[in-house]
Amino acid sequence: MTSRRRFIQIVPLAGAAMLAGGHAAAQAPMVDENDPQAKALGYVADATKVDRNRFKQYAPGQVCTNCALWQGKPTDAAAGCAIFPGKRVAGPGWCSAYAKKP
CB of 36 to ligand SF4, least distance (A): 15
CA pair distance 96, 81, nearest whole angstrom: 13
Only segment of 7-15, 17-25, 49-57, 81-89 that touches ligand SF4 (CB under 6 A): 81-89
Binding to ligand SF4 (CB under 6 A) within 5-44 occurs at 43
Would you say 84 and 38 are in contact if contact means Cβ atoms under 8 Å apart? yes
List the one residue from 89, 92, 101, 102 that touches ligand SF4 (CB under 6 A).
89
Nearest CA among 80, 101, 12, 83 for reference residue 42: 83
CA pair distance 43, 34, nearest whole angstrom: 9
Q: Which is nearer to ligand SF4, 9 or 30 (CB)?
A: 30
Total chain residues near ligand SF4 (CB under 6 A): 13
Phi, psi dihedrals of residue 15, rounded to the nearest 5°? -65, -45
CA pair distance 70, 47, nearest whole angstrom: 14
Binding status of residue 97 toward ligand SF4 by CB under 6 A: yes
Residues that bind ligand SF4 (CB under 6 A): 43, 64, 67, 69-70, 81, 83, 89, 93-95, 97-98
